[in-house]
Amino acid sequence: MGVKQRSKSLSASGNQLANTFFQLEILNKKELLPTSYVKFKDKIAQVGVPNIDVVPVEIFQLNIGKLCNQTCAHCHVDAGPDKKEEQMTKPDLERCLLIIKAVDSIHTVDITGGAPEMNVNFRWFVTEVRKLNKKIINRCNLTIIRSNPKYYDLPEFFAENKVHIVSSLPYFSASRTDKQRGDGVFEDSISALQMLNKVGYGIVDNLKLDLVYNPSGAFLPGSQCSLENEFKRQLLRRYDVKFHNLLCITNLPISRFLDYLIETDNYTDYMETLANAFNPATLDGLMCKNTISVSWDGNLYDCDFNQMLNLKVASNSQHISNFDVQQLNQRKVIINEHCYGCTAGAGSSCGGELV
Amino acid sequence: MEKKYFDPKDLAKFGEITKYQKDMGTKFFDWYGEVFSGDTALTEREKSLIALAVAHTVQCPYCIDAYTTACLEKGADEEQMMEAVHVAAAIKGGATLAFGIQMMNHAEKMNM
Ligand code: SF4
Ligand code: SF4
């Protein structure tokens, strides 16, 4: 069964939120925020953290293109099948390889998209990174493996290159998964997981398969450990599927999820929920501290979310063409109201909970 | 000011019940916190589903909102949540009907 698109991208539907300035304007509109709301900058200052400083970059996260076979309702990338042009080119991927090679502190290359596998240079790039002996994470949406015969051998390709697979599965039942990601996504995702299990993913230690859970609505994720136990139990019982870890990620109020919050009149309450759940213990582990996020056109950001809001790093080095690791390691992270999404409760990052 | 019962904003003020009886209120919140915290003999999800069912039987709109959110956060789905409400309703309905025995006993005693 194929995947039916859940929605259109913001840009394809002519939505004002496709403009990142407009998103930032909404996030900073006082009238839309709860009365007791304290700005993120002031909130962290209150707990003695006036700025978020970085440590030497360890994770090089690359969004190699916004093209995707899905159009999930919550997608913060605003990815979809219409994003054919926004693809990282081979010369830019080559530039990235030079950076990854030159910067010793980078131990992990985290490849994301869209569906990164749809970039024509994906396999070449993965094999080149492998030669550099760095850890590779690929954020695979699962259904891509089932979408076309040319992708059926991806599990073997991933295994050969010891790629760590991180995949979204919002729930262990079709109804909630498909509501967020599109009709047919659950069935294809389970079938892709079974193919990954078949080559050893999720079973042997060096073929890591982690699943990502993000709430399918305007609420926070519960305890990662408890949800992981339930996902493991249910996926094994119902579909004989195994995986290593469940990473819980909070939905940040940007892009299509912001649109959903506004459309369903949940925005103000959600911002209040995030702000009330502020946990200062998460600040030390924020992913922006050790990550550089690169967009398909080579610009540099503190994280994937800042990338989607087009908030470039506060440094003279803002593009892979003038990557200056010394300068970047001195920078202060650009923060805004969406950052509350990373500090709520147990915290949230591309690696799941923070505390 | 319009006078109304059950203002959703009051839920956030629940903590203020310690105002006039600090010791008892604090003990209540410590105990309440412990009941719901972590996966113990019951998982957090199971406890939230029980709380949701009970919230329906005591017909507390605050608790229904709070434990609907909690159930979603803890990973329960709508089918499980509705089933929990049915469990509550079945017990409530069954308990009402069970009193029918008392009615029958008494009616049979009174009638010739
Ligand atoms: S699969 Fe990922 S990138 Fe593609 S639309 Fe869904 S959330 Fe966005
Ligand atoms: S969104 Fe999160 S990771 Fe990004 S800058 Fe804000 S706190 Fe850091």
CB contact (8 A) between residue A230 and residue B72: no
pLDDT of residue A10: 78
The reply to whether ligand 2 has any atom less than 6 angstroms from the CB of A251 is no
pLDDT > 60? residue A97? yes
Minimum-distance ligand 2 atom for the alpha carbon of A349 = 3
When pLDDT is cut at 50, 70 and 90, the band that residue A159 belongs to is very high
Residues A332-342, mean pLDDT to the nearest whole number: 97
The reply to whether ligand 2 has any atom less than 6 angstroms from the CB of A333 is yes
Residues B52-56, mean pLDDT to the nearest whole number: 97
Dihedral of alpha carbons B104, B106, B107, B112, sign: positive
- What domains, with CATH codes, occur in chain A? 3-343 (3.20.20)
Residues A315-324, mean pLDDT to the nearest whole number: 96
How many C-beta atoms lie closer than 10 Å to residue A185's C-beta?
A: 29
When pLDDT is cut at 50, 70 and 90, the band that residue A192 belongs to is very high
When pLDDT is cut at 50, 70 and 90, the band that residue B8 belongs to is confident
pLDDT > 90? residue A52? yes
**Direct distance between the N- and C-terminal alpha carbons of chain B, in angstroms, rounded to an integer:** 60
Complex ipTM, two decimals?
0.70
Q: pTM of the prediction?
A: 0.87
DSSP character string of A262-297: HHTT-HHHHHHHHHHTB-GGGGGG-GGGTEEEE-TT
Calculate the average pLDDT of chain A: 93
What is the rounded CA–CA span in Å between residue A26 and residue A42? 18
- What are B's interface residues with A at a Cβ cutoff of 8 A? 38-39, 43-45, 69, 72-75, 77, 79
Report the residue from A173, A219, A229 with minimal CB separation from B77. A173
pLDDT of residue A248: 94
Nearest to A293, CA basis, from A249, A346, A333: A333
CB contact (8 A) between residue B73 and residue A230: no
pLDDT of residue A18: 83
pLDDT > 90? residue A14? no
Q: Where are the alpha helices (DSSP H) in A104-223?
A: 122-131, 143-147, 154-160, 174-181, 185-198
pLDDT > 70? residue A95? yes
3-state DSSP assignment of residue A198:
helix
**pLDDT, tens digit, 9 for 90 and up, residues A211-254:** 999 998 999 999 999 999 999 999 999 999 999 999 999 999 99
- What domains, with CATH codes, occur in chain B? 41-112 (1.20.1290.10)
Structure tokens at B74: 């803890």
When pLDDT is cut at 50, 70 and 90, the band that residue B1 belongs to is low
What is the rounded CA–CA span in Å between residue A156 and residue A200? 10
pLDDT of residue A6: 66
CA distance A175 to chain B (A): 9
Residues B33-40, mean pLDDT to the nearest whole number: 93
When pLDDT is cut at 50, 70 and 90, the band that residue A1 belongs to is low
Backbone φ and ψ of A112, nearest 5° = -140, 180
**Which of A161-165, A271-275, B4-8 shows the lowest mean pLDDT across its residues?**
B4-8
DSSP character string of A329-347: TTPBPP--GGGHHHHBTT-
pLDDT of residue A7: 66
**Which of A4-8, A83-87, A315-319, B5-9 shows the lowest mean pLDDT across its residues?**
A4-8
